[in-house]
Structure formats: structure tokens, C-alpha cells
């Protein structure tokens, strides 16, 4: 029942929560493995979905998908719940904690005082674990943090019932049952197949590999369509989504490469290891793109040439990933 909860720091909140919760159940799984089985890697650019007047960009699948997919694919039973009232949401959390269940929580980073202020925006899809209570305070394992944290009930309620998009509405989840045998191989195969499918066969231009080219085209237009300050903020947001907290570097590309390597070792497949090496190189290309974007932002350089060059760097990432995921999708299982 009251097994001590062990906290491990991870790159990304949701794959980190997933790995830490499974480890608590005695399932030895790494963050990259959880991320890959959960088909976490993705790309999306949504010019019409503006936050603070800036178009949205994402390098990962929608929030909640990773945990759900991992649970499905590894045959793990979970309980998930949303609430209409904060009082019920906190009562349900207290009950789960009293039963000794570390509980995953969805909330807004803006209301988590243990995070440095620099990171606290109204981002409502952050995942962390409550693993106990001490007095009135909740004990928190937030996978992006090096150590453990705690939070007052008042702040926790605010985080769980933040408004905006999406609204967490007190969403919480915990594991209720695990199978005797964990079949990673099956999960790996399903995870990879779906990732390739999502990347290449999404018919909408804003999602998957084609969205990289959409963004590249937009960036080319920035100096023509935007004032210098706005152009720099637009670019800056892309870089933040790619490199700021929680991607493990290069917009999750390194994290996914780590998964492919581990999968290759687990399944004794050299081809997966080869794919891992390729994606590491592609990730280096994304880092180079970010480095050059920062250079342009610093000088507020709206020279057409520099934006053209940046757009070209991004296109190369898109082209290389197109080949990469096409070949990965052709793997024989």
C-alpha cells in the first residue's frame, strides 16, 4: 500500500509521469520507451489558433494521448476522471491518495508556484503526480523538476480548474491494474506504425510532416507581412515550443531517437538503431534551425535573405523527416 514513491526527472511532463507511474507499479520502463510506445512525436502548425496573438506550433501529439496509448498498448488498466466541482475533485484526489495511489493530475503551469516564474504561462496541459499529503499540503512529483515539490490545496485547485484552452476540469488518472507480463515488443510496433501514419497520412495541412513545409512558407513571408518585432516574436514562439522545457532537445527528436535506440537494443534489431542515428542527425538540423532563428531575432533582422535561409533550413528538416518516416513505416515486423 504505502510503497515509497520514487521520483525520476524526465524531459517531458506526460511521458515522464507515465514512466514514473509505471515504475511505481514495478514496471521498468524508461521515458523514451513510454514516449515512443505512446506515439508522442509529431508536428503541427496552426496559424489560425493564436495564443497571445501568436500562431501555435507543436512538436508532439495532443495532451493526454501518450498516457492513454501506453496504457492501451501495454494492457494497463487505468482510472480517469473529470469533475464539475472543485470540491469533488479534491475529495476524489484525497481518497485516491489515502488508498496509496500516486495520481496523475492535469493542470495549468501558471498556478504551480514551485516552478520558476520564467516558465509559468497559462499552459493548461501540464502533467504531474500527487503522491501523498503532509498536513494540508500535497506532495508533488513533477517530472520536469530535479527533485520533489509540494503545493497548497488552494493553488492546486486553481491549477486543476484553470480556464482557457483546454480546460483540465480537475482531470486525474491512476493505475488500477497491471498485466503479469509486459509486452514491450507489441507496444513498440504499434507506437512506431501509428507515428509514421500520423506524420505522413494526415490529410490536413496543419498537421504532420506537411505542416513543416507550411511553417517554412510562412517564415519566408514574415519579413513581407509582419513588423520586425512581431516577426521576432513569431519566430521566438517556434523556438520556445521546440526547445523550452519538456522536449528533451530538438522538439522531441532526440527523445524519439533515444526510444528507437532502446527499442533496437530490446528487440535486437540493428535497423532500429540505424534509424535512431538518422534521427539524431535530423535533430541536429532542428537545433541548427533554432540557433539561426535566434541569431535573426537578436538583431531583429528582417532582411529577406536571412528569413529565406531560415525557411530553407526548415524545409531540409521537413524533407529529411519525410524520407525518414517513409522508410521507418516500411519496417517489417
In whole angstroms, the minimum distance from the beta carbon of 290 to other proteins comes to 5
Pick the closer one to other proteins by CB: 103 or 247.
Answer: 247
Q: Could you give the residue ranges of the DSSP H alpha helices within the chain?
A: 13-24, 31-37, 65-73, 86-98, 153-160, 184-201, 209-225, 228-243, 253-267, 270-298, 304-329
In whole angstroms, the minimum distance from the beta carbon of 97 to other proteins comes to 26
In whole angstroms, the minimum distance from the beta carbon of 255 to other proteins comes to 5
- The whole-angstrom separation of Cα 333 and Cα 108 is 40
In whole angstroms, the minimum distance from the beta carbon of 99 to other proteins comes to 30
Pick the closer one to other proteins by CB: 96 or 263.
Answer: 263
In whole angstroms, the minimum distance from the beta carbon of 10 to other proteins comes to 6
Q: List residues binding other proteins (CB under 8 A).
A: 9-11, 31-32, 52, 110, 115-119, 121-122, 144-146, 163-164, 229, 232-233, 235-237, 239-240, 242-246, 248-250, 254-255, 257-258, 261-262, 276, 280, 283-284, 287, 290-291, 293-294, 297-298
Under a CB-based contact definition with an 8 Å cutoff, are residues 15 and 40 in contact?
Answer: yes
Close Cβ partners of 42 (under 8 Å, ≥ 6 residues apart): 58, 59, 60, 61, 195, 198, 199, 207, 208
ω before 166 within 30° of 0 (cis)?
yes
- The whole-angstrom separation of Cα 191 and Cα 39 is 5
In whole angstroms, the minimum distance from the beta carbon of 111 to other proteins comes to 10
Pick the closer one to other proteins by CB: 79 or 169.
Answer: 169
In whole angstroms, the minimum distance from the beta carbon of 301 to other proteins comes to 13
Q: How far is CA 79 from the centre of its chain?
A: 21
C-alpha cell at 281: 542527425
Pick the closer one to other proteins by CB: 40 or 210.
Answer: 40
C-alpha cell at 188: 513498440
- The whole-angstrom separation of Cα 244 and Cα 6 is 25
Counting every residue, how long is the chain?
Answer: 333
DSSP annotation string for 84-131: SSHHHHHHHHHHHHHTT--EEEEE-GGG-TTS-GGG-SS---EEEEEE
Pick the closer one to other proteins by CB: 205 or 227.
Answer: 227
Pick the closer one to other proteins by CB: 33 or 216.
Answer: 33
In whole angstroms, the minimum distance from the beta carbon of 30 to other proteins comes to 9
Pick the closer one to other proteins by CB: 128 or 174.
Answer: 128
Under a CB-based contact definition with an 8 Å cutoff, are residues 20 and 143 in contact?
Answer: yes
Pick the closer one to other proteins by CB: 161 or 174.
Answer: 161
Amino acid at each position: 500500500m504505502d510503497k515509497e514513491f520514487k521520483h525520476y526527472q524526465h524531459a517531458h511532463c506526460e511521458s515522464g509521469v507515465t514512466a514514473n507511474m509505471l515504475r511505481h507499479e514495478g514496471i521498468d520502463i524508461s521515458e523514451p520507451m513510454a514516449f515512443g510506445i505512446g506515439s508522442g512525436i509529431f508536428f503541427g502548425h496552426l496559424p489560425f489558433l493564436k495564443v497571445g496573438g501568436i500562431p501555435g506550433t507543436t512538436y508532439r501529439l495532443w495532451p493526454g494521448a501518450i498516457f492513454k496509448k501506453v496504457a492501451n498498448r501495454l494492457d494497463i488498466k487505468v482510472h480517469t476522471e473529470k469533475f464539475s466541482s472543485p470540491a469533488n475533485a479534491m475529495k476524489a484526489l484525497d481518497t485516491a491518495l489515502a488508498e496509496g495511489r500516486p495520481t496523475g493530475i492535469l493542470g495549468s503551469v501558471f498556478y504551480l508556484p514551485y516552478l520558476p516564474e520564467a516558465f509559468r504561462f497559462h499552459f493548461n496541459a501540464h502533467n504531474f503526480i500527487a503522491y501523498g499529503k503532509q498536513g494540508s499540503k500535497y506532495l508533488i512529483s513533477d517530472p520536469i523538476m530535479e527533485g520533489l515539490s509540494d503545493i497548497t490545496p488552494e493553488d492546486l485547485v486553481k491549477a486543476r480548474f484553470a480556464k482557457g484552452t483546454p480546460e483540465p476540469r480537475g482531470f486525474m488518472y491512476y493505475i488500477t491494474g497491471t498485466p503479469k507480463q509486459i509486452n514491450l515488443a507489441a507496444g513498440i510496433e504499434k507506437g512506431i506504425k501509428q507515428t509514421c501514419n500520423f506524420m505522413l497520412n494526415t490529410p490536413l495541412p496543419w498537421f504532420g510532416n506537411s505542416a513543416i513545409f507550411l511553417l517554412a512558407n510562412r517564415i519566408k513571408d514574415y519579413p513581407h507581412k509582419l513588423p520586425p518585432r512581431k516577426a521576432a516574436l513569431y519566430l521566438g514562439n517556434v523556438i520556445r515550443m521546440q526547445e523550452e522545457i519538456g522536449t528533451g532537445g530538438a522538439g522531441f527528436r532526440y527523445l524519439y531517437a533515444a526510444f528507437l535506440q532502446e527499442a533496437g537494443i530490446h528487440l535486437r534489431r540493428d535497423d532500429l538503431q540505424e534509424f535512431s542515428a538518422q534521427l539524431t542527425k535530423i535533430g541536429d538540423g532542428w537545433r541548427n534551425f533554432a540557433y539561426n532563428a535566434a541569431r535573426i531575432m537578436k538583431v531583429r533582422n528582417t532582411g529577406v535573405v536571412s528569413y529565406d535561409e531560415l525557411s530553407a533550413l526548415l524545409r531540409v528538416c521537413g524533407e529529411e523527416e519525410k524520407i525518414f518516416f517513409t522508410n521507418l513505416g516500411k519496417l517489417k515486423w
